[in-house]
Amino acid sequence: ERGGCKVIANIRGGGEYGPEWHQAALKEKRYKCFEDMEAVAQALIESKLTSPEKLACIGGSNGGLLVGNLITRPIASTLFGAAVCQVPLLDMKRYSQLLAGASWMGEYGDPEKPEEWKFLRKHSPYHLLRHDILGKPEMGDGDVLGEVTESTNPTWKAPKTLFTTSTRDDRVHPGHARKMVASLLEEAGKDKAPTVYYWENTEGGHGGAADNSQRSFMWALTYNFLAQALGLEE
């Protein structure tokens, strides 16, 4: 009723087209799913179906890792006016030490292996933000991060972003979202991250909500944020 539309991006790394499609973006090839999402966004803009100010991305869990990259990559961050990052993986240096993270090393790689950390480093949103964009790496990270990546961009500005997570998430630790939001609010500041919201439910596990009441509140919060951010309130 408000004039918006929803686009499903079947990017590489997903399971939509079988095992080969999924395997096309594992480990060192993970960047392909971010490039695919950028390509979808660019196609929507070039076809005049939307504009960056009216385009948002949303993803949770592994999709939260996707959104984290979209708001920090130099091209992608200019394509979206808003983003919703749900129960996300964001610190790829420490993910394997938190909750169920170790079970995903076959998907992402092992950050304790230098040869695998080399590619993980390039799509760890927390490090792209703190080290590459802001020049403020977390204590102890400087020695393992090396040179800045292509994400370094003095004109970078974060899209309007809502992060949601759960205190009782037993799969992706809420610390991922907490750290990212703290850096955006306290280190990036209003100039580079003018609109950042954070909601942490104290219940609900990895789904972010414990029952239908909480679930409806979470999605009402999400869609209200998107309506405001994209100018769909009227």
Residues labelled catalytic: 61, 206
The pairs formed by 186-195 with CB atoms below 8 angstroms and a separation of 24 or more are 187/130, 187/134, 187/136, 188/129, 188/133, 188/134, 188/158, 191/157, 192/133, 192/134, 192/156, 192/157, 192/158, 193/157, 193/158, 193/161, 194/157, 194/158, 194/160, 195/160, 195/161, 195/229
What is the chain's alpha carbon radius of gyration, rounded to the nearest angstrom? Answer: 17
DSSP letter string, 182-204:
HHIIIIIHHHH---EEEEEESS-
The 3-state DSSP class for residue 2 equals: coil
DSSP symbols for 165-177: EETT-SSS-THHH
- The dihedrals phi and psi of 85, each to the nearest 5 degrees, come to -115, 110
| CA distance from start to end of the chain | 10
